[in-house]
Amino acid sequence: MRQLAPNSPEMSASQSPSHTPPPEIPLEIISEEEMAIIEAAFAAAATRSLVSSRASASSSSASSAASFQKNVRSIKSITLLSKRSFSNSSCSQSDTGVIVDVEDSGRLMTQKRNRIVDSLLHRYRRKRGLTVTDITATEWCEKKMEYTLLCGKPEKTKAMKAGSIRHEALEEEVIKKVKVHVASAEDVWALKFLNFIVGANQLLFDGLTRELPLVGFAEGVWMVGIIDEIRIPKGQSDAYPMLVDTKTRVRASLPSEPQRRNGRLQLMCYKHLWDSLVDDDFPSRQFFEFFSLNPNRILSAEIRENTAKCGFPAETLTDMLRYSRNTWCMLPPAHEQLLLRYELQEDQSFLGEDQFDYDLDWVKGQIKSSLEVWRGEREANYTPEDERWKCRSCKFASECPASNSGSPGGKDTEG
C-alpha cells in the first residue's frame, strides 16, 4: 500500500501551500438575541421614547502579546471583550422590558467584531482550521498553548524527535510513500482525500492502516488530524474499526493520569471526526469557502494520473470529494473502545496499554472549553496547582507567572 506525499519546490509536505487568497470583506453573523436588541434600539429611537437609566457591566479589555526577547516583558493574553460600564446614558425600553442604549449597541457590535478579529483562532488558524493537537495542547496547559502561538514553537526535544522517528517507522511497516508534485492548495487537499481513500481500502482489505488523515466539522469549527493506527480484526468485515495511538516513553514506566487524560482526549477527538464523516456530516460548500478552495480547478497531471491508477479518475477537487464521500459511506462508526499503547523509546519494548470507553459528552465539553480560549471568549488559564509539575519541562517556565510563583512537586515530566 502506498501513501502519496506532496513534493513541490514551493511547499513542503507538512506545510500548507503558499498562495494568497483575494481580499475578503469580513462578514459577521448576528445572533437572534443581538438582532432583537438592535431592533429594539432603533424602534425606540424612531419614536423618541428615551428614558434615563443606569446599568453596569464589566470593562472591555483586549490585548495582544509581545515576542520573547532577552529582556522579556510580561506576556499579556488575549482576553474576553466584555460589556462596557456606562452611566447617565440615554436608554430606551422595548415592549419586552429590555433596556437598550442606541449608541452603546453599536459599540458592543464593534467590540464583538474586534474580539473575533483578535482571537487566536482568527490570527493563527484562519483558513487552516484547528488540529487535534491544538485541542490537546490547550487541555494540557492553556497558557503554554498561548505562549507557543505568540512567541513561536520551542525546538523539539530529543524525546520528541525519537517519538517522531518511531511513528515514521511504524508507518513504513504498512505504507510505502510516493512523492507527488503539487502546484496548488487544491492539489494538497486532493492528496489528503486520496490518502484517506487508499488507507480506508487498506483497512477494509488488510484489517490495518496507519497515519490516516482526517478533516471534519466539529463543534462549529473545522478540525484536521492524523490517526496513528486503525485496526479491524481479520475476517470480521462487519466489525467496528478500533482507533489506536502509540506513545513512546523515555522511562520504563506508565504515564501519570494527566498524560493519560490528554491521550484519551486525542483519540476521542479522532473518533468524533471519524464518526461525523461516516454519518456524511460534511458541509462541502463551507469547506471550499473556509479553506479558500476552487472546487472546479483542474488538479495537477501527477495527481490525476495517480487517482486514475487507484481506480477513481478525478479531474477536480469536487471529483475527489465525491469519491471520498463514497468511501465514508462504506465505513462503520469507530469502536466505542479506544486504545493507547505505551512502549519504551530505547528498545520499543511494550510497557502497557490503556483501553477506555468513548465519552461523547466529555470530548465535546473539552473541545468547547478549548474553543472558548481560541475564540477569545475567555482568558487562557494556567495549569492547575496540582499539575504544576508540567512546568518543569516547559520552555516558557522562566517567563510564566505560574511557575515562578512556586509549584508543588510532581514525579512525571514526560509529554
> Which H/E stretch holds residue 320?
helix 317-330
pLDDT at 237: 65
pLDDT at 255: 95
pLDDT band at residue 296 using 50, 70 and 90 as cut-offs: very high
Q: Which residues contact 337 (CB under 8 A, 6 or more apart)?
A: 242, 355, 356, 357, 358
For 15-61, how does the pLDDT look when each residue is reduced to its tens digit (9 = 90+)?
444 444 544 444 444 444 444 444 444 444 443 333 333 333 333 33
Q: In the numeric block, which cell numbers belong to residue 110? A: 464593534
pLDDT at 120: 96
- The whole-angstrom separation of Cα 359 and Cα 338 is 10
Q: Which residues contact 379 (CB under 8 A, 6 or more apart)?
A: 77, 78, 79, 80, 373
* pLDDT, average across residues 205-215: 94
> Directed axis angle between helix 317-330 and helix 257-278, to 10°?
110
CA 184 to chain centre: 23
Mean pLDDT of the chain: 77
pLDDT band at residue 170 using 50, 70 and 90 as cut-offs: confident
**Range scoring the smallest mean pLDDT among 34-38, 149-153, 287-291, 301-305:** 34-38
8 Å CB contact between 365 and 120: no
CB environment 321-348: b (16+ within 10 A), e (fewer): bebbeebbeebeebbeebbbbbbebeee
The 10 Å Cβ neighbour count of residue 59 is 9
**Range scoring the smallest mean pLDDT among 33-47, 116-130, 290-304, 365-379:** 33-47
- The whole-angstrom separation of Cα 79 and Cα 58 is 13
Q: Which residues contact 285 (CB under 8 A, 6 or more apart)?
A: none
**Range scoring the smallest mean pLDDT among 163-167, 224-228, 296-300, 357-361:** 163-167
8 Å CB contact between 73 and 66: yes
- The pair phi, psi for residue 276, each rounded to 5°, is -70, -35
* pLDDT, average across residues 278-294: 96
Percent of the chain with pLDDT over 90: 56
**Range scoring the smallest mean pLDDT among 159-163, 178-182, 241-245:** 159-163
8 Å CB contact between 246 and 229: yes
pLDDT at 23: 46
pLDDT at 44: 42
What sections of 173-283 are H helices per DSSP? 185-206, 257-278
* pLDDT, average across residues 213-241: 91
pLDDT at 334: 97
8 Å CB contact between 413 and 389: yes
8 Å CB contact between 228 and 274: no
Q: Which residues contact 329 (CB under 8 A, 6 or more apart)?
A: 278, 280
pLDDT band at residue 408 using 50, 70 and 90 as cut-offs: very low
- Residue 114's nearest CA partner among 376, 326, 392 is 376
For 112-132, how does the pLDDT look when each residue is reduced to its tens digit (9 = 90+)?
555 556 899 999 999 999 999
For 244-268, how does the pLDDT look when each residue is reduced to its tens digit (9 = 90+)?
999 999 999 999 999 999 999 999 9
- For residue 73, is pLDDT > 80? no
More confident residue, 396 or 171: 396
Domains, the chain, ranges and CATH?
A: 2-17+130-381 (3.90.320), 32-124 (no CATH)
pLDDT at 51: 30
* pLDDT, average across residues 283-306: 96
- The whole-angstrom separation of Cα 342 and Cα 147 is 29
Cell 475567555 sits at which residue? 378
